[in-house]
Amino acid sequence: MIQALRGMKDILPPDNARYEHILRTASAVAGRYGYTYVETPLLEETALFKRSVGESSDIVGKEMYQFIDKGGHDVCLRPEGTAGVVRMFIQNKLDKKGGLHRFFYHGPMFRYERPQKGRLRQFHQFGCESFGEASVYEDFTIIMMVKDIFDALGIGYEILVNSLGCPECMPRYREELVGYLQNIQEALCDDCRRRIATNPIRVLDCKNETCQRHLADAPLMSGHLCETCQSDFTTLTQLLTANRLPFRHDPKLVRGLDYYTRTAFEFVSSEIGAQSAIAGGGRYNRLVEFLGGKPTPAVGFALGIERIMELVKMPESAREGYYLGVMEPAALPAVLQAAHRLRQNHTVHTEYAKKSLKAHLKAADRLGARYCAVVGEEELSQNAIWVKDMETKEERRLALDALG
Ligand code: HAM
């Protein structure tokens, strides 16, 4: 028996209803914030992710589904959505057009990570990217949008925020951090030691307890922000406070992707175990230029649909639509016509086999139909159909033509 690959999951009933509910809710909220739906290919040139997510990130270094295609091109399955949307933005010359462009997307992402609860190799994200707005008010508005999505889904969260600085203040801070890390490198794990040269900021969020003990006095970005970065971060936290958002400044929040500048944030849930991040995002003002486009400020986020599926409670679904069946097969053509008429406005389940009334009622109940409609011998002779309201238990006989 061939099984699905490790870390990859089918989404089938009853979970599919939660999946759809999350997508529908998030898309509706994004629409109200002026975002429009876009799709980009699952497969892109590997260089796109190396340049954007960063060669020294775990995602590019260890987790890519990368291969050479039949034409000899180095390609990979997208590990995240931002890079593809930025490529789309530049390739379609939207950077040259100027103005504001706001997009949302959803679909599968692929990371060859060690599977565990909440961590899959194929998972689904819903994401938004906003191009052309440099104001920190846009960062705030994006965080409000994520809040609206989780509120609409009835999910609790805490928001972690940080500022990662800009090309003016980040290099100075990085130098100081590297100096500090070099002094304690003997005490750090292999990963951290390697990162001192490649990506020192990532050392700060190492999960190893010994490393964290030695990092207790490490210099933090928050003490090194330039005036503009500091003023933007203050504005952001003031706005979050004024709007009573449950946030905490986490000076060690660095995110696992290299493209961020200034605002970085994560929404975390305490109810789903170690993989607690349910959404993450931030500003990436340099990425469009870095990938060959006209310099364009940008900010975005993505949420992990599978992690949210663990948290979302579906509203009790009401009985809906019709179940149509026959006890007399001769009635089937007329019943199918009625089904087609009803389907213009209702969900309709049809059963083609001759069954007892009891069996039809049981099937209608299992399918969650509001009405069970059956043609028996007597109905056939009168060109009628027997209909039972499964909720009120009321029974009626109608002309078959009158149904639908
Ligand atoms: P990310 O933090 O790597 O950001 O992923 C966003 C969300 O995807 C996470 O918070 C988590 O819920 C979910 N996720 C990530 N990896 C897995 C996994 N292996 N299994 C299940 N769920 C997972 C990004 O991907 C950025 N592109 C977000 C962004 C958009 N930043 C700016 N614009």
Confidence of residue 234 (pLDDT cuts 50, 70, 90): very high
Q: Which two tokens stand for residue 67?
A: 């291969």
Judge whether residue 183 has pLDDT over 90. Answer: yes
Centre of ligand 1 to C-alpha 81, Å, is 9
Q: Tokens 């100027």 sit at which residue?
A: 98
Q: Tokens 């609790």 sit at which residue?
A: 156
Closest-CA residue, ligand 1 atom 2, reads 280
Closest-CA residue, ligand 1 atom 13, reads 304
Centre of ligand 1 to C-alpha 302, Å, is 6
* Half-sphere exposure at residue 349, Cβ-oriented, CA atoms within 13 angstroms: 19
In this structure, how many other beta carbons lie within 10 angstroms of the beta carbon of residue 240? 21
Q: Stretch 120-141: mean pLDDT, rounded?
A: 98
Judge whether residue 315 has pLDDT over 80. Answer: no
pLDDT of residue 119: 97
Judge whether residue 318 has pLDDT over 90. Answer: no
pLDDT tens track for 71-82: 999 999 999 999
Centre of ligand 1 to C-alpha 190, Å, is 25
Confidence of residue 266 (pLDDT cuts 50, 70, 90): very high
> Which alpha helices (H) appear in 243-387, and where do they start and end?
287-290, 305-309, 332-342, 357-366, 377-382
pLDDT of residue 314: 85
In angstroms, what CA-CA distances link 262 with 172, 302, 394? 15, 17, 63
Confidence of residue 316 (pLDDT cuts 50, 70, 90): confident
Q: What is the mean pLDDT of the chain?
A: 96
In angstroms, what CA-CA distances link 64 with 18, 74, 185, 323? 28, 12, 28, 47
Confidence of residue 228 (pLDDT cuts 50, 70, 90): very high
Centre of ligand 1 to C-alpha 80, Å, is 7
What CATH topology corresponds to 322-402?
Rossmann fold (3.40.50)
Q: Which residues are within 8 A (CB) of 265 and not within 5 positions of it... i.e. 6 or more apart?
A: 143, 159, 160, 161, 162, 253, 280, 281, 282, 301
Per-domain residue ranges of the chain: 15-169+225-311, 322-402
- For the CA of 308, the closest atom of ligand 1 is 12
Q: Which two tokens stand for residue 173?
A: 């801070």
Phi/psi for 140 (5° steps) reads -60, -45
**Cβ < 6 Å from ligand 1: which residues?**
80-82, 111, 113, 119-120, 123, 125, 127, 129, 256-257, 277-282, 300-304, 306-307
- For the CA of 279, the closest atom of ligand 1 is 10
* Half-sphere exposure at residue 328, Cβ-oriented, CA atoms within 13 angstroms: 16
Judge whether residue 317 has pLDDT over 90. Answer: no
Amino acid at 98: G
Closest-CA residue, ligand 1 atom 16, reads 119
Q: Stretch 19-35: mean pLDDT, rounded?
A: 97
- Domain at 15-169+225-311: CATH code: 3.30.930.10
d(CA 163, CA 247): 14
Centre of ligand 1 to C-alpha 289, Å, is 23
Closest-CA residue, ligand 1 atom 11, reads 304
Q: Stretch 308-317: mean pLDDT, rounded?
A: 88
pLDDT of residue 369: 97
Contact predicate 368/320, CB 8 Å: yes
pLDDT of residue 404: 82
d(CA 380, CA 334): 10
